[in-house]
Structure 1
Amino acid sequence: MVTKSRVPETIDAYLADLEDPKVKKTLGALRTQLRKLLPKATESISYRMPTFKVDGDAVAGFAFFKTHCGYYPFSGSVVPALKSELDGYATSKSGVTFPPDQPLPAKLVKTLVQARLAEIATRGKKPAAAKKGNAQARGKRVVGKTATAGFQVGVVRTLPMTAPALWDWVTTQPERWLGPGATLTAEPGGHFEVPKRRGSPGVRGEVRVVKPGQRLRMTWQPDGWKKPATLQLTLMPKARGASLHVHMEKLPDAEAREAMRERWSKVLSQAVD
């Protein structure tokens, strides 16, 4: 990774050991961006590379190898899930490589970081401090608040249908997952609306991103919310069926986060009924 045989103990030392000015500039800029995206992260050297950890979870890492740089989300699913966004880059299941003189775009780095944070949130791992201080909460899903996405929650389930069939289900049968009477125009700039029912507020939003067969991203604003949240549905083909990952961020508070977790857990559990 670095040109010397010893392993640096800090990221500052790692960068100082890099002899190629282009590499040092590129990875130095990447570190600066990660600091902005993850202001509460701990910086360290893990697996012989600079690593950013949040509440003990490795979120992002980078390294230099002889001729190329690499970015690593410490996950086997983040890179495959962002296949379309990473088109043109050399990738593996665990990382992305790029030439030192062609840094990863800032927007792409942000997407990679948010995808990893969402995965951690979906898994519901509790911060170390919470584990020690609340033994009674063991086994319960705890989803946190991040500096970049606010309150967020994710729910994922593998369904017994092909990815194309699942995409069709999402885009042409909105009443099945948005609610009775829902309408949806699944194209960028399109809108959706769910009418108010007894016990359930009306919801509306604008479709922002459509990656056919892969991803649908939209705003989400129920009656009474001052600002909209963001809702994203991501599909991934599996050996048996396809997974649907529902992720929400910029939720107003912890109460809304829990309500959305319950809502989407129920929707996915009834998806094939």
Structure 2
Amino acid sequence: MATTTRVPQTIDAYLAAVSDPAAKKTLSALRTQLRKLLPKATETISYQMPAFKVDGDIVVGFAFFKNNCGFYPGSGSVVPALKSELEGYTTSKSGVTFPPDEPLPAKLVKKLVQVRLAEIAASAKKPAAAKKSPAKGFQVGVVRTLPMTAPALWKWLTTGADAWLGAGATLKPKAGTPYSVPKRRGAPSVSGEVRSVISGRRLRMTWQPEGWTKPATLQFTVTPKTKGASLLVQMENLPDAETREAMRERWSDILARVA
């Protein structure tokens, strides 16, 4: 993300803090196009990145991370739906990554926005209860098979918490033990408690970033596979759909780095 001493509060401030000239030019042009595609949208900063919101729903966000730009429809189903059109790009369920000097074609940006708008329109016609589980609130799951044994994966999970919780995190895999993650640039502090541990298999804990009124539940499940081991990350009781997509992106990125 852009280098700054504090989280930008406006898109103008965000772009001003982008030090890479190519990235600044590309993201500024992208912003101009999105303004034309979404004339009634509200510009905002959501999860430390510029975003466009329509009637309370995030349509799309964009960002610059060190060497690449990212384009993020506010849903985990838009990018998979356009898999053929996105061939050749680096993608996750929630976004597309591209070099600063190779902007996304305008037609592709338009198609991504159109698919997201259609999704929002369709969702608005569904009963509210269909958008989340009444018992578990908004929830998300991300799974990936990793090139390591199940014991090695469990060791990484329980002894290298700073790699997935955040720098400075402390975690003791024992039920009833509290943990904390200090606040850092661009990310709030997080606190919680380990709820249950099945050694080598499952870790369940609460997750409450600074500012949240209620904690979410975070669970990791390690499963041996023929080649490697899978790690399933599940979150329950998230406050809203926007947070759900942000968490989907977070854990997808972390598992990709581990792989």
Of the two, which has the highest radius of gyration? Answer: 1
Matched with 1:271 is: 258
Please show how residues 1-273 of structure 1 align to structure 2 within 5 Å: 136-137=115-116, 144-272=131-259
1:144-176 deviations in whole A, cap 9, x for unaligned? 411121100111111000000000000011011
Mapped partners of 1:190, 1:205: distance in 2: 9
Corresponding residue pairs, total: 142
Look up the equivalent residue of 2:215 and give its one-letter code. Answer: P
Q: CA deviation at 1:137?
A: 4.8
Between the aligned partners of 2:131 and 2:225, the Cα distance in structure 1 is: 28
Q: Is the 8 A contact 1:176 1:271 kept in 2?
A: no
Aligned residue in 2 for 1:95: none
- Which is bigger in relative contact order (C-alpha 8 A, separation at least 6)? 2
Q: Gapped runs of 5+ residues in structure 1?
A: 1-121, 127-133
- C-alpha distance in structure 2 between counterparts of 1:186 and 1:211, whole Å: 9
Dislocated runs of 4+, deviation >4 Å: 122-126
Q: Cα distance, 1:136 vs. partner?
A: 2.2
**Matched AA of 1:239:** T
* Cα gap change, 1:185 to 1:123, in 2 (>3 Å): farther
Q: Residue 135 of structure 1: CA displacement?
A: 8.5
Q: What's the CA shift for 1:123?
A: 9.7
Paired amino acid for 2:202: R
- TM-score, with structure 1 as normaliser: 0.48
For the residues of structure 2 that align with 1:153 and 1:199, how far apart are their CA atoms? 23
Cα offset for 1:250?
0.3
Pair 233,123 (structure 1): closer, same or farther in 2 beyond 3 Å: farther
Q: What one-letter code is carried by the residue in structure 2 that aligns with 1:163?
A: A
> What is the DSSP-based 3-state SS (H/G/I as helix, E as strand, rest coil) of the residue aligned with 1:167?
helix
Name the CA shift for 1:202/1:244 in 2 (closer, same or farther; >3 Å). Answer: same
Aligned-partner Cα distance in 2 for 1:165–1:144: 37
Contact 1:177 1:271 in 2 (8 A): no
Indicate the percent of aligned positions where both proteins have the same amino acid: 60
1:221/1:267 CA distance change after superposition, 3 Å: same
After superposition, the C-alpha distances for 1:167-199 in whole angstroms (9 at most, x for unaligned) are 000001101111111100110001221111111
The whole-number CA distance in structure 1 between the counterparts of 2:114 and 2:161 is: 40
Structure 2 unaligned segments of length 5 or more: list them: 1-75, 82-112, 124-129
Shift of the 123–156 alpha-carbon distance from structure 1 to 2, 3 Å rule, reads farther
1:41 aligned partner: none
Q: Distance in 2 between matches of 1:123 and 1:218?
A: 27
